[in-house]
Amino acid sequence: MSGPSGDKLIYVDMTDQSVEIRDFPEEWKLLGGRGLSAKILLAECDPTCDALGPDNVLVMAPGVLAGTAAPTSGRLSVGGKSPLTGGIKEANTGGQPGQHLAKLGYRGIVVKGQPADADKRYAIEVNAEGVQVVAADDHKGKWNYALCMDLHGQYPKTASFITCGPAGEMQLTGASVATTDQDNRYPARHAARGGLGAVMGSKGLKYVAVDPGKASVRQAADREKFGELCKEYTKGYLAGPQMFKTGTSSVVPVANMLHTFPYKNRVEGQSPDASTLEGARINESFETRGGQMHNCMTGCIVKCSNIVHDAEGEYKTSALEFETLTLLGANCAVASWEDVADMDRLCDEVGLDTIETGGAIAVLMDAGQMEWGDADAMRKLIAEIPEGTDRGTAIGNGAVATGKFTGHHRVPEARGQAIPAWDPRPLKATGVCYCTSAMGADHTAGLIVNPGLAPDQFAWEAQKVQLLNAVCDTSGFCQFLQPSLDDIRAFFGALYGEEVTREAIHDQGWQCLEDEWEFNRKAGFTAADDKMADCLGQDAVGAEGAKVVFDVPDDIIQAVFKRMPAQEDLFTAKASG
């Protein structure tokens, strides 16, 4: 036996709503998720196209290991040309659709074209009987939670959904793509970064329904070895410190200590409100309000996702993450995690990236057009985005658009994308990732939390972590499981019954980065774009007497684009994002 076989790719042309099922190329068997998306986009999408026009291509692809028994391996990559950055984009999400697509033998959905009538809405239905495009006009304009409530009544209980909120329908460039999670089937997981929700909206695609029915787990070629790997890896993980079992929100105090918990549009690296924003407060609320930690997808052993309840004990949102607490909290001088939870729910409802939205509102506040810390005004602002007000539209289009709207010059961004919590001033090597990743300022493409790293190590560390994360996002493993390249190639090898060498896995990661960089070069990006916003090179953060700016020389940044010989740690380092 040679492992999973007979896999297919779904091609949908939204111009005439036609569907074509193609055989998945045998030579691509170790390509999934981000790597597959990059391969398809480079070959089939004109990099100079209008990201919101018919020539853009939207890819939704589970990782190689999705649908198998490998722990925490069902991640879904959403890819396309980003309307926010103008470059290639992959945004990664948990939830059930990745697992369900893979169990049905579909390695991806490739959506092309655009309906002639922009007012029409459609859905793609995927199940054991096949694939079809159906009208979805009845769901036009619905917020994500209301949409999913209705879809749960419309489809079998086994179905999961990929949805587009009103921000995506309005083609706002901060729009996310939502996926439903395991326990409560809410649209609480998001492929958030880069405005891919707007691409989905531009194609008139309101949702994708994936019903696996009784589809079974994908079986490996070497079942015994694959089973042993799953058992050993799970046992090892559970015997370890399980650093994420209280949620990513528990990172707040460490980040604050390291001056990477930005305050007031990053004029400071620490917030005076860290103690009221940190995850411990959220976890304390479980006792009196309910709520809990859970896994967002079948087979997850990390369980980093919190379910947050309101004061009445009713479900409010999930998951309230470190990045959201930072960008919609500290960075806007909001002091209460409960206020941030409200805004997280609103962003999930409207279908917005919480990082981009928080970055945009902080620019608005910095421009003097909203009071710092005014959570009521923020709630109203996010809720008005679907109404299409000028101010709401600017916020929905992200931090750079908000800078233009307000005339405010201080916009912390790289490649047009708001900087995540992890700040490139104390964490300069992470800044090198932001400058060199085709994804722009996206910590999931490369995160190096090592403030003591010597500058001569920046280029190698940035290349290493970007390559590792590219392979991780190709595999379907969650970055929080922290697999190494050696771990991933062992699973790949057992899945297909063949050895995957260190050289082969190194090549795969490098090829993914090369494909993405090549797409951006063809889109018109040059070395002049490999830079950080001026304000981060001018405004220092850090302890008194040790304040830092982002001042990494260009030669170090450009060195990342040249493949370096593999060092041992390339294969043993753990993914992080």
Partner 1 sequence: MPTVLIPPPYRGPTQGTGEVEVEGGDVLGSLEDVDRKFPGFLAQVVNEDGAVLPFVKLFKNGDQLDVAEALRTPVGGDDEIEVLAAIAGG
Residues of this chain that bind partner 1 (CB under 8 A): 241, 243-244, 246-251, 253-254, 257-258, 280, 304, 319, 321-324, 420-422, 426, 443-444, 447-454, 457, 479-480, 576-577
In this structure, the dihedral spanned by the alpha carbons of residues 53, 417, 343 and 392, taken in order and rounded to 10 degrees, is: -60
For partner 1, the closer CB: 135 or 238? 238
Q: Which two tokens stand for residue 558?
A: 């450009």
Query: Around 552, how many Cα atoms within 13 Å sit in the side-chain half-sphere?
Result: 33
Bridge partners (DSSP) listed for residue 131: 126
For partner 1, the closer CB: 15 or 457? 457
Cβ–Cβ contacts within 10 Å for residue 207, how many? 27
User: CB of 571: closest distance to partner 1 in angstroms?
Assistant: 18
User: CB of 546: closest distance to partner 1 in angstroms?
Assistant: 9
Rounded Cα distance, 410 and 387, in Å:
27
User: CB of 438: closest distance to partner 1 in angstroms?
Assistant: 18
User: CB of 11: closest distance to partner 1 in angstroms?
Assistant: 33
Would you say 435 and 417 are in contact if contact means Cβ atoms under 8 Å apart? no
Rounded Cα distance, 93 and 177, in Å:
9
For partner 1, the closer CB: 39 or 428? 428
User: CB of 216: closest distance to partner 1 in angstroms?
Assistant: 32
User: CB of 207: closest distance to partner 1 in angstroms?
Assistant: 25
Query: Around 377, how many Cα atoms within 13 Å sit in the side-chain half-sphere?
Result: 14
For partner 1, the closer CB: 134 or 543? 543
User: CB of 270: closest distance to partner 1 in angstroms?
Assistant: 14
3-state secondary structure of 37: helix
Q: Which two tokens stand for residue 442?
A: 């996206």
Rounded Cα distance, 314 and 306, in Å:
14
For partner 1, the closer CB: 212 or 359? 359
For partner 1, the closer CB: 68 or 179? 179
> Of 398, 450, 406, whose CA–CA distance to 424 is shortest?
450
Would you say 357 and 382 are in contact if contact means Cβ atoms under 8 Å apart? yes
Residue with tokens 């089939």: 44
Polymer length of the chain: 577
Residue with tokens 């930005």: 262
For partner 1, the closer CB: 135 or 257? 257
Would you say 469 and 438 are in contact if contact means Cβ atoms under 8 Å apart? no
For partner 1, the closer CB: 244 or 525? 244
User: CB of 457: closest distance to partner 1 in angstroms?
Assistant: 8
User: CB of 250: closest distance to partner 1 in angstroms?
Assistant: 6
Helices H / strands E in the chain, number of each: 22, 17
For partner 1, the closer CB: 230 or 447? 447
